[in-house]
């Protein structure tokens, strides 16, 4: 009888121990649909636990608190934490205690405005779009980087940036600028200097070319046209700058009335380059400017083949001939 009692007690102890072990080390943490759990800067310990429970990541607040007490987790660290399938409470608590957040791989593609960049950042990071646009529009913030509110977008190069979710607006831009400085090697700076251009001017020219064509073979020749026009004191007359000035990027045809818009970005009304880029320039296009050939071209117009290529000419008469062919083709295709 005594043996049965002892065996029964042992069995109960084993069951209790197994239950406790399961609660601590079993896969009791639920994998959320959004995959990540976000802890905001300044969030309290209790608010964080409430959020874990509301999102049904943990089913029991008590077991989480017990695990946290055992591990010594008291200080909340903000961040984006990946909740993996099969995770246990101890692993969850340890991850949160150590601040082992999952970084954000932020990819910049072609963006035309500071507002577009700020919106993308607001969607990807704790920093909201208003904080980011305030930074991008602050001369004081940008002065230490040698940039202003017009040239700031040259630093937002189309790379992939790995950053923590709770990185501030200033720190995010600092990462952009570090990559920008790394890109501008001594060799590239020397090439820019040989063209009598600053890196910012090269990036600005590249941004216009990126909006003009997707043809890699045409980019160097377009750069040579722009360089020749600037050297002769001729306006660039680049249609993409009119679209940027009007903030209407869906335009397919630029009518004469559009070219009269009053804006420092309108290269029909103003000679030389605009005060800053009109999109985030691609690395390949910047290099196309730096390695552009010396030509006599002063004009170019899109080919009637509509294949992204252009016809380059050295005189206005030939240019107008090809321009008329292109306009006629637009009319045939009923392009407005």
- Residue 25: which pLDDT band, with cuts at 50, 70 and 90? low
Total Cβ atoms within 10 A of residue 334? 6
What residue numbers bound the domain in which 297 lies? 186-332
pLDDT (tens digit per residue) in 83-119: 998 899 889 999 999 999 999 999 999 999 999 999 9
* Residue 26 belongs to a domain: yes
pLDDT of 30: 87
Mean pLDDT, to the nearest integer, of 40-46? Answer: 95
Mean pLDDT, to the nearest integer, of 46-54? Answer: 93
- Residue 120: which pLDDT band, with cuts at 50, 70 and 90? very high
| Whether pLDDT at 10 is above 60 | no
* Residue 5 belongs to a domain: no
Q: Is there a single domain that holds both residue 206 and residue 323?
A: yes
Q: Is there a single domain that holds both residue 246 and residue 313?
A: yes
| Whether pLDDT at 19 is above 50 | no
| Whether pLDDT at 124 is above 60 | yes
Mean pLDDT, to the nearest integer, of 320-324? Answer: 91
Domain boundary among 98, 133, 162: 98
| Cα separation, 31 vs 87, whole angstroms | 8
* Residue 8 belongs to a domain: no
pLDDT (tens digit per residue) in 60-78: 888 889 989 988 998 999 9
pLDDT of 196: 96
Q: Is there a single domain that holds both residue 85 and residue 205?
A: no
Q: Is there a single domain that holds both residue 237 and residue 296?
A: yes
Q: Is there a single domain that holds both residue 299 and residue 196?
A: yes
Phi, psi for residue 311 in degrees, rounded to 5: -105, 125
| Cα separation, 283 vs 19, whole angstroms | 58
Q: Is there a single domain that holds both residue 222 and residue 295?
A: yes
Domain boundary among 98, 118, 135: 98
For residue 80, give the 3-state DSSP assignment: strand
Q: Is there a single domain that holds both residue 129 and residue 196?
A: no
pLDDT of 17: 47
Q: Which is more confidently placed, 332 or 24?
A: 332
* Residue 2 belongs to a domain: no
Residues listed for the chain: 336
Mean pLDDT, to the nearest integer, of 211-240? Answer: 96
Q: List the beta bridge partners of residue 82.
A: 36
Per-chain mean pLDDT for the chain: 91
Indicate the pTM of the whole model: 0.88
Q: Is there a single domain that holds both residue 84 and residue 23?
A: yes
Q: Is there a single domain that holds both residue 273 and residue 216?
A: yes
pLDDT of 201: 98
Q: Is there a single domain that holds both residue 195 and residue 307?
A: yes
For the chain, how many structural domains are there in total? 3
pLDDT (tens digit per residue) in 230-285: 999 999 999 999 999 999 999 888 889 999 999 999 999 999 999 999 999 999 99
Q: Which of 237, 241, 291 is nearest to 268 (CA)?
A: 237
* Residue 3 belongs to a domain: no
Q: Is there a single domain that holds both residue 315 and residue 228?
A: yes
Q: Is there a single domain that holds both residue 172 and residue 192?
A: no
Tokens for 281?
A: 């320039």
* Residue 191 belongs to a domain: yes
| Whether pLDDT at 221 is above 50 | yes
């Amino acid at each position: 009888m005594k043996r049965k009692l002892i065996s029964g007690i042992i069995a109960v102890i084993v069951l209790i121990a197994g239950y406790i072990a399961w609660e601590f080390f079993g896969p009791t943490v639920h994998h959320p649909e959004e995959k990540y759990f976000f802890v905001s800067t300044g969030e309290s310990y209790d608010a964080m636990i409430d959020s874990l429970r509301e999102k049904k990541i943990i089913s029991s607040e008590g077991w989480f608190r017990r695990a946290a007490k055992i591990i010594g987790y008291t200080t909340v660290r903000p961040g984006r934490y990946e909740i993996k399938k099969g995770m246990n409470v101890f692993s969850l608590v340890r991850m949160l205690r150590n601040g082992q957040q999952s970084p954000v791989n932020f990819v910049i593609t072609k963006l035309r405005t500071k507002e577009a960049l700020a919106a993308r950042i607001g969607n990807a990071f704790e920093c909201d779009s208003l904080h980011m646009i305030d930074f991008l529009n602050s001369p004081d913030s940008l002065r230490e980087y040698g940039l202003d509110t017009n040239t700031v977008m040259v630093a937002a190069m189309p790379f992939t940036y790995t950053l923590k979710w709770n990185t501030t607006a200033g720190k995010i831009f600092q990462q952009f600028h570090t990559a920008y400085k790394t890109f501008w090697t001594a060799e590239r700076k020397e090439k820019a200097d040989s063209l009598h251009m600053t890196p910012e001017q090269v990036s600005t020219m590249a941004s216009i070319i990126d909006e003009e064509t997707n043809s890699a073979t045409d980019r160097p020749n377009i750069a040579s046209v722009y360089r020749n026009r600037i050297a002769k004191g001729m306006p660039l007359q680049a249609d993409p700058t009119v679209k940027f000035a009007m903030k209407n990027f869906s335009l397919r045809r630029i009518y004469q009335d559009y070219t009269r818009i009053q804006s420092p970005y309108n290269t029909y009304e103003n000679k030389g380059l605009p005060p800053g880029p009109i999109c985030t320039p691609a690395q390949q296009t910047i290099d196309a400017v730096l390695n552009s050939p010396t030509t006599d071209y002063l004009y170019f117009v899109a080919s009637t083949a509509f294949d992204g290529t252009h016809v380059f000419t050295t005189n206005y008469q030939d240019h107008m001939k090809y321009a008329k062919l292109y306009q006629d083709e637009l009319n045939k295709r009923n392009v407005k």
